Amino acid sequence: MPSDQALIRSTACAIVDQLNSGDVTPLDLLDALEKRIAEVDSKTNALPTLCFDRARDHAKALMQKPRGERGLLGGLPVPIKDLTNVAGVRTTQGSPIYKDHVPASSDILVELLESNGGVVYAKSNTPEFGAGANTFNEVFGPTRNPWDLSRSAAGSSGGAAVALATGMAWLAHGSDMGGSLRNPASFCGIVGLRPSIGRVPHTPTAKIDRNLGVQGPMARNVEDLALFLDAISGEHPADPLSLPRLPTSFLSAARSGKRPKRVAYSPDLGITPVDPEVAAITRRAASRFAEVGVIVEEAHPDLREAHECFHVLRAFDFAISKAALLREKREHLKPEVIWNIEEGLKLSVERLERAEAQRLAMANRTLAFFENYDLLLTPATIVLPFPIEHRYVGECAGKKFDNYVEWLGIVYAITLACCPALSLPCGFTASGLPVGLQMVAPSRGEAALLGGARVLEDILGIRGTTPIDPRNASH
């Protein structure tokens, strides 16, 4: 059997091959992870809730089945973000209100994952209710960026990204409303995908057709990401927005070698400031598509209403999902969550009508834009990983932001346009911090997106830079 260190450094695809050949067992993997977490998580605080007893019970039950009948993942362990219910496992949503909450049933995403051979062994840290792109909460405290422990891991899937970057996970579950998968992926040097609406089923809460937020996969490389998307996608009767599984796997699409013909790069989508170093690194990465004959041009769709539209629709989402908590547990909510809910409760129907019309217009213009381009490339975040003490980014390149989410415009504009998008590691700053390139495809275009991302990943040659040991800036 490979050593624990070799296992930790291995790709998810390679591990699944070893599971299917019998070279390793799910129990071997859980042992290796438990040791790795004991070594590094005291420095990063990525996986505050562990459930290894439950995981081993599940692994033993899987091992009663013949190899090849254990699902797509074959017994591969996966952590679940702490916003999503796992039966019998403490699920806090990062809130003191739910600090002792143990759900009786799992979200349908978890059930699907487990039926496809995933073994849940941990919950990953998240900000309170996923609000704010810096992973800290009053239940567990902050999650630190392993590339520089004084820096933020972003959010809200910060714990998941850090677990991947440090070898405490091969795959990790996340979710994304305004960049919650893409920002941590960028800050931590891993890959995170926001899929199309309905691609990954999950249990509806508060509203049957909420679609700003989606669930999605995170991994260390594009192939592993595609494998995980295959394991968690498909239709489910409990989620009326869920899409049928495609006839061709996302892993085969990632491995196809199919290149886009023409891509657009934009440093700012015309709506946001961007740190000059981030702009330079992402522009250089995008331009390297030309090395394999791809036409690269500077262009972007018209997304000028993104800030107003997202502010309204996000506030409405907080109101419908959290207003009862504001009424009953206000003293336990952080100021940013209170602000979001109150903004939502103030909304008029006219403002909602205007925001929905704006979203439709942006989605239609983006669809028209993709008649000329196969992919749109931008920075995944507009700043470098910032000091962990900062609750959010207040300004960038001399521009002060109006609220605590406006710095996320480059990702939430893509959310509003209903596009799948991933963050691909594309380079490092002069100080050694990772930078992510956001790659965007038209709605339901995950296959082309993954194929193009794998091609660029090969060109850039920085796959395999994770996992790392957590480090301080001086290292």
Question: pLDDT for 321-333, tens place per residue?
Answer: 999 999 999 999 9
Q: How far apart are CA 102 and CA 45, in angstroms?
A: 20
157 with 174: CB under 8 angstroms? Answer: yes
Residue 144 CA, distance from chain mean position: 16
- pLDDT category at 23 given cuts 50, 70, 90 is very high
Q: What is the DSSP letter of 239?
A: B
Question: What number is the average pLDDT over the span 295-322?
Answer: 97
pLDDT in tens, 75-118: 999 999 999 999 999 999 999 999 999 999 999 999 999 999 99
* Integer Cα distance of 25 and 121 in angstroms: 15
Is the pLDDT reported for residue 215 higher than 60?
Answer: yes
CB atoms under 10 Å from CB of 428, counted, come to 15
**Is 474 one of the catalytic residues?**
no
One of 10, 156, 186, 423 is an active-site residue; which one?
156
Q: With 60 as the cut, is the pLDDT of residue 153 above it?
A: yes
Helix (H, G, I), strand (E, B) or coil at 264: strand
CB contact set of 357 (below 8 Å; sequence gap of 6+): none
Contact assessment for residue 126 and residue 176, using Cβ atoms and an 8 Å cutoff: no
C-alpha to C-alpha distance for 339 and 303, rounded to whole angstroms: 25
Asked whether the predicted pLDDT for residue 17 surpasses 60, the reply is: yes
**Ramachandran sector of residue 257 (left: φ over 0; alpha: ψ -120 to 50; beta: rest):** left
* Mean pLDDT value across residues 213-222: 98
User: Which residue in the list 95, 157, 175, 180 is annotated as catalytic?
Assistant: 180
* Separation of alpha carbons 463 and 14, rounded Å: 15
The verdict on whether 156 is a catalytic residue reads yes
CA gap 158, 180 in Å, rounded: 8
- The 10s digit of each residue's pLDDT in 106-120 is 999 999 999 999 999
Q: Which pLDDT value is given to residue 403?
A: 87
pLDDT at 363: 98
The stretch 155-167 carries a mean pLDDT of 98
Q: Is 81 a catalytic residue?
A: yes
* Pairing of β 434-440 and β 421-428: antiparallel
- 475 pLDDT more than 60: no
- Which residues 6+ apart lie within 8 Å of 474 measured at CB? none
Q: Sign of the CA dihedral 102, 108, 109, 114?
A: positive
Percent helix, strand and coil across the chain, each to the nearest 5:
40, 15, 45
State residue 1's pLDDT score: 75
Cβ-proximal residues to 102 (8 Å cutoff; 6+ apart), any chain: 88, 89, 90, 91
The alpha carbons of the chain give a radius of gyration, in whole angstroms, of: 21
Helix (H, G, I), strand (E, B) or coil at 225: helix
**Cβ atoms of 352 and 316 closer than 8 Å:** yes
Distance between first and last Cα of the chain = 33
Mean pLDDT score of the chain, rounded to an integer?
A: 97
Residue 474 banded pLDDT, cuts 50, 70, 90:
low
**Could you give the percent of the chain with pLDDT greater than 70?**
100
Predicted confidence (pLDDT) per residue in 435-454, tens digit: 999 999 999 999 999 999 99
Q: Taking each helix axis from N to C terminus, what angle separates 52-63 and 26-44, rounded to the nearest 10 degrees?
A: 160
